[in-house]
């Protein structure tokens, strides 16, 4: 509340013995030096972020599924199909084709397949980088040189090329397998390393990687849920995952997103009473109804039956994701409601009074009513003039920043009724 003083002016007006106008409040406060902080507070939800489905391409029967909440890292199995592991590797490209070394037959002869029998080779033979002999698919020893059956002309291995090959070889190297060059070519040397990897996985050593043997994710994942049961067909998206890092999701009213800037620092108040620092990682570009999960109450309690025309615009929200550099600061909490605080503006070491102490002056602007003649140390303000002009600044927390040539720290002023 701001009181209005009509036609008083700053230079006159009668006074009582105690220096206060008749009928005015006797509550007195001091002008203090303080830090004012204007901040936005919204409700959010601590969790692991949105769920992402695994694109499982293996065909067969699900024979094993991980528990919800389990962390899966590079080289570990995501599930088993027909008792074969589907392995997690890191990368952004999906596994969209089989990886193998093929063989080019001599002119006039049909090429043999590189897949061969179940335990056959991949058409290897260039384990020293040369183009000297290569065996046909299904040879017992993939590293030995050989010739096409019934012909004396050596076959040539044909490497597969592409960025998906380099992504796979990077993972194979990170898992500790060597003897090949990490590049865009899937050579016999790569196939030999794959055989060693397959042996460790308990798989037939073919040197061929089927599209269904691998799933890719940006990094280690946390199993979020399963939509299939052991014994069901492995098709579609039987598993979903999230990041292993905890984060906060906030649904901010679409009309109040000015504070939500990527990279801005925020404070997050946890359910256990502690406050930790976070950073805005992303701000959604699409608005949705306030009923969305992850702190939807922050939208102002919009309600699903918001009613008539225009209500959708009033309750629409934008998703804001907040991440934490220090995951340990979150303690053992995995999920729960939180409050997100962002400082919009801050003024340190300024003179402040309660907003209720402001008086709207007839001449325009605001003033403060002195609580006597000598509270500020005497001088010009100790005369009949009981009001001093005050320029206002930041409003925050029920206080207001004030300044002016006659406004000083420690000055006692009255709060109008």
CATH code of the domain covering residue 382: 2.40.420
Structural contact between residues 282 and 262, judged by C-beta atoms closer than 8 angstroms = yes
Q: What is the pTM of this model?
A: 0.62
pLDDT tens, position by position, 158-185: 889 999 999 999 999 999 999 999 999 9
Within a domain: residue 152? no
Q: Does 249 share its domain with 327? A: yes
Distance CA 402, CA 389 (A): 9
- For residues 291 and 324, state if they share a domain: yes
- What is the phi/psi pair of residue 349, to 5°? 65, 40
Same domain, 82 and 182: yes
Report if residue 108 sits inside a domain. Answer: no
Strands (E), 135-228: 156-158, 160-161, 185-186, 214-217, 221-226
What is the residue range of 292's domain?
A: 40-49+245-344
Checking if the pLDDT of 84 tops 90, the result is yes
Does residue 91 belong to any structural domain of this protein? yes
Same-domain check for residues 379 and 318: no
Is there a single domain that holds both residue 178 and residue 84? yes
CATH of the domain at 273: 2.40.30.170
| Same domain as 169, residue 201 | yes
Q: For residues 166 and 271, state if they share a domain.
A: no
333 lies in the same domain as 354: no
In a domain, 140, yes or no: no
Burial of 24 per CB tally in 10 Å (0-12, 13-18, 19+): middle
Whether 303 maps to a domain, the answer reads: yes
Q: Does 73 lie in the same domain as 57?
A: yes
- Among 86-100, 297-311, 377-391, 403-417, the minimum mean pLDDT is found in 297-311
- Express as a percent the part of the chain with pLDDT over 70: 72
Question: Do 10 and 63 reside in the same domain of the chain?
Answer: no
Domain total in the chain:
3
- Confidence class for position 305, pLDDT limits 50, 70, 90: very low
Final residue of a structural domain among 344, 363, 383: 344
């Amino acid at each position: 509340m701001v009181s209005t003083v009509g036609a008083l002016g700053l230079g006159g007006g009668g006074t009582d013995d105690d220096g206060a106008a008749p009928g005015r409040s006797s509550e007195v406060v001091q002008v203090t030096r303080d830090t004012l902080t204007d901040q936005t507070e919204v409700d959010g939800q601590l969790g692991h972020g949105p769920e992402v489905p695994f694109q499982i391409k293996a065909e067969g029967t699900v024979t094993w599924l991980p528990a919800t909440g389990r962390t899966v890292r590079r080289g570990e199995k995501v599930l088993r199909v027909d008792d074969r592991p589907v392995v997690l590797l890191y990368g952004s490209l999906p596994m969209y084709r089989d990886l193998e070394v093929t063989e080019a037959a001599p002119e006039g002869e049909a090429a043999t397949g590189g897949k061969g029998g179940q335990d056959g080779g991949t058409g290897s033979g260039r384990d020293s980088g040369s183009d000297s002999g290569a065996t046909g698919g299904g040879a017992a020893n993939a590293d030995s040189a050989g010739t096409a059956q019934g012909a004396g002309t050596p076959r040539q291995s044909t490497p597969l090329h592409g960025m998906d090959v380099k992504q796979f070889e990077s993972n194979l190297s990170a898992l500790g397998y060597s003897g090949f060059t990490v590049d865009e070519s899937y050579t016999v040397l790569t196939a030999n390393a794959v055989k060693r990897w397959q042996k460790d996985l308990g798989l037939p050593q073919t040197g061929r990687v089927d599209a269904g043997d691998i799933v890719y994710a940006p990094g280690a994942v946390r199993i979020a849920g399963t939509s299939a049961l052991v014994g069901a067909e492995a098709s579609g998206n039987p598993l979903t995952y999230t990041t292993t890092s905890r984060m906060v999701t906030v649904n901010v009213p679409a009309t109040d997103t000015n504070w939500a800037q990527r990279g801005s620092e925020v404070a997050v108040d946890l359910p256990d009473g502690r406050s930790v620092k976070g950073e805005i990682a992303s701000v959604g570009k699409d608005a949705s109804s306030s009923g969305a999960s992850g702190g939807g109450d922050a939208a102002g309690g919009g309600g699903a039956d918001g009613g008539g025309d225009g209500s959708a615009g009033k309750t629409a929200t934008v998703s804001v994701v907040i991440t934490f550099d220090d995951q340990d600061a979150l303690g053992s909490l995995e999920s729960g409601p939180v409050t997100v605080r962002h400082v919009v503006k801050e003024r340190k070491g300024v003179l402040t009074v309660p907003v209720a102490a402001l008086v709207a002056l007839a001449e325009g602007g605001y003033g403060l009513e002195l609580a006597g003649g000598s509270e500020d140390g005497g001088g010009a303000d100790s005369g009949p003039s009981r009001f001093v002009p005050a320029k206002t600044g930041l409003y925050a927390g029920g206080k207001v920043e004030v300044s002016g040539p006659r406004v000083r720290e420690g000055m006692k002023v009255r709060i109008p009724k």
